Amino acid sequence: MQFGRCGLALALIVTAPCTWADDAPACPTDEIACLDRVQVTATKRPESTLDVPAGTTIVGTHAMREAAPQTAMDALHGAIGAYVQQTTPGQGVVIVRGLKGSEVLHIVDGFRLNNAIFRNAPNQYVALVDAQAVDRIEVVRGPMSTLYGSDAMGGVVQMLTREPRFEGPDWQTTGAVRTMYGSADRSSLGRVEFAIGRRGLAISGGATHQDVGDLRVGGDQRLRPTGYSAHAFDLKLSAEVVDGHELVASVQFLKQPRTPRYDALVPGFGQSEPDNTQFLFEPQQRRFAQLIWRIHRSNALFDSAELHLGRQDIVDDRRTRATDAPDLEDREHNRDTLDGFFGQFGKSLNDAHYLSYGYEWYRDKVSSAKLRTNLLDGLSSVRKPRFPDGAWMDSKSIYLADDWLIGSLADLNVGVQYSRFEIDIPATADTPSVRMRPSALSGNAGLSIKLGEDWRWVNNLGQGFRAPNIFDLGAFGERPGGRFSIANSELQPETVLTLDTGFKFGGERFTGEIMAFRSRYRDKITSVETGAMRTAGGEDCVDGTPGCLRVVQNRNVTKLNLWGVEAGARYYFVNPDLELYATATWTRGDEQFEGRKYPADRIPPLFGKAGTLWRPHPSLGLEVYTLYSTRQDRLSERDRDDPRLNPNGTPGWITTNMRIAWQVNTHFDLAFRAENLADKRYREHGSGLDEPGRNFIFSAAMRF
């Protein structure tokens, strides 16, 4: 494998005796277009991004630290093919190829973050992964269901936490302290981390605390309430138990005790008053534990293997009071527990074929309760919960893929996966029980053709799917807007078929890629009216009768067509030590329902990043860059009715920013970043609040 400049930097990071985030001399903005590096997500094994026949976006170790993200997705601003949306403070999601929420698979250290209550819209759960513990983000753009199963339709977003390594027989200890302050929201962040070990054994961990105040946006207006806090910790043990066998045990925890949903507490577009006088996520919490057994000794069945056993527990509790009933307070207690056991194996048959195969088993269990209290008399009553209490969902899958080198110029990747699901929703007083067993078969074929030592023409035809989950199936009974939802036991998985083609270049002075894609999204789950009418108690009634509700049902009826172009490039000057870079991503989406064609929901406008980086001294880096987005006025009817979106369209914007990074000595770094220097007031399309105004961010890191 040939490494370019950034590839060599990453190789040094991997093989160093023990490396911490800020040690890395890799490209400071290496999410842009540094292609000749190693990834592990697109093929489930280390392989150069140059040779992978799929679009891959990487935010490396150094870039993660210098981005100082409040949530992990903040590090993806301006990256190729990754549009960041934020409904409320302390949360954030990434839109990949026009798809979002459960239409994109999110994983942490190989384990699914997506669960049975993940909705196919922006949600808050990605923010429950501590961005300060994340060492690296890899985004694979396009369907990846062949390797990852359900939800991998727009792509896969993997967050990898750090895993220090030591060399030599003697015990060694390292550590780091990082701190950050931001002026726009008066935010402060502190992180302490450590590692101790020797060859074959390492114990590492850290703790993070974050306080965020009310946000000041462009024009010197402060948004209230937008403040929140979070605290997190993580611990990891890796040990070579015998030669060729490594055991890794890890735990992660993050809690936001009290986070307001800003867009529900202020009037939005088309509103004279907000939906709620109180809306608090109280609390949001994620607990995660995983055991990984890695085998690096060849045998007749595999050359390498990984077995994962893990549990994820997400708490989604809420406290709300509606504007039209301010004396009635609802308290929700929602929890999803996800258990998973899966294995992945690799076997080299000869110089031409490398087989990857594996299996997955996951089980979700959901508990949900809702209690309403009249604040005038203190009396409480049980209400219908957000999700069906006691519901569960099983998924089982097997896959097989072959990486076939055809001569010296072509590399063909083909694969297939079969998945089967079992979903059980218990009966309630007004709804019957539901049990479903949908299945899905998916595959892909990718071809990389070597046009030169550093050039590749890449093509991929991939199929993805999303199985209906408990969020899709469990919202029964009386619903907002005068509706009564009924179950659909015939609901089937959604599917997408995507064709990619493009070019990648990974030379010493110039790296870049340009990819074009076309996606056919079919069987999209949509709520439709059945023509029947029922009371809140489930009895049939006649239209016009007081309390009579329209009966709706989720069905596989909508079609969606998506097109797009993703591009990025970086050029290196030798003298002076100067880099120029730019990215651009454009997406268009059209939806069809009942013979009507209209723009798809939440499609990002043309967006990207451009800048220059100058290193006048090996210890000093100066960067000036812009983030930009064009106007988006192709809105669906749902977009126009959404109070978060301007019905006339989201205006375009461009911000000017700068960054200074100074390595004072081998143990101490300082960084200063000035964002939105013109103090422009703007909003990312689809977000629920404006972005920060002029913002000065100071950070310091000390290693010992």
| pLDDT for the residue numbered 56 | 93
Q: What is the mean pLDDT of residues 117-124?
A: 87
Interval 250-302: pLDDT, tens: 999 999 999 999 999 999 999 999 999 999 999 999 999 999 999 999 999 99
Interval 543-580: pLDDT, tens: 888 888 889 888 999 999 999 999 999 999 988 899 99
Consecutive H or E run containing 8: helix 5-15
- 594 pLDDT band (50/70/90 cuts)? confident
Name the nearest CA neighbour of 334 among 536, 108, 125.
125
Residue with tokens 């939005």: 268
Taking 90 as the threshold, does the pLDDT of residue 63 lie above it?
no
Consecutive H or E run containing 640: helix 637-641
Cβ-contact 346, 354 below 8 angstroms: yes
| pLDDT for the residue numbered 669 | 94
Taking 80 as the threshold, does the pLDDT of residue 105 lie above it?
yes
Question: Measured in whole angstroms, how far is the alpha carbon of residue 447 from the centre of its chain?
Answer: 26
| pLDDT for the residue numbered 430 | 67
| pLDDT for the residue numbered 12 | 24
Comparing 354 with 5, the larger pLDDT belongs to: 354
352 C-beta neighbours (distance < 10 Å), count: 13
Cα distance between the two ends of the chain: 34
Q: Where does 12-133 show beta strands of DSSP type E?
A: 38-39, 47-48, 55-59, 83-85, 93-95, 105-108, 111-112
Comparing 588 with 549, the larger pLDDT belongs to: 588
* % the chain with pLDDT above 70: 94
Q: Which residue ranges make up each domain of the chain?
A: 5-703
Residue with tokens 């008053």: 273
- 375 pLDDT band (50/70/90 cuts)? very high
Cβ-contact 436, 394 below 8 angstroms: no
| pLDDT for the residue numbered 31 | 41
Residue 537 makes CB contacts below 8 A (sequence gap 6+) with 430
Give the whole-angstrom CA distance, residue 459 versus residue 444: 11
Taking 70 as the threshold, does the pLDDT of residue 34 lie above it?
no
Give the whole-angstrom CA distance, residue 51 versus residue 403: 11
Interval 646-669: pLDDT, tens: 999 999 999 999 999 999 999 999
| Maximum mean pLDDT: which of 9-13, 33-37, 591-595 | 591-595
Taking 80 as the threshold, does the pLDDT of residue 33 lie above it?
no
Taking 70 as the threshold, does the pLDDT of residue 29 lie above it?
no
- Range in 8-12, 226-230, 371-375, 687-691 with the lowest mean pLDDT: 8-12
Cβ-contact 192, 205 below 8 angstroms: no
Consecutive H or E run containing 672: strand 668-675
Taking 50 as the threshold, does the pLDDT of residue 642 lie above it?
yes
| pLDDT for the residue numbered 122 | 82
Question: Measured in whole angstroms, how far is the alpha carbon of residue 6 from the centre of its chain?
Answer: 24
Q: What is the rounded average pLDDT for all residues in the chain?
A: 91
Taking 80 as the threshold, does the pLDDT of residue 30 lie above it?
no
Give the whole-angstrom CA distance, residue 455 versus residue 511: 10
Strand partners, 448: 411, 458
Taking 60 as the threshold, does the pLDDT of residue 126 lie above it?
yes
Dihedral (C-alpha) 103, 106, 111, 113: value to the nearest 10 degrees?
A: -80
Q: Write down the CATH number for the domain with range 5-703.
A: 2.40.170.20
- 480 pLDDT band (50/70/90 cuts)? low
Question: Measured in whole angstroms, how far is the alpha carbon of residue 702 from the centre of its chain?
Answer: 29
pTM: 0.92
Residue type, 35: L
Residue 25 makes CB contacts below 8 A (sequence gap 6+) with 9, 12, 62
Residue type, 327: D
Cβ-contact 245, 293 below 8 angstroms: yes
- Residue 530 CB-half CA count within 13 A: 17
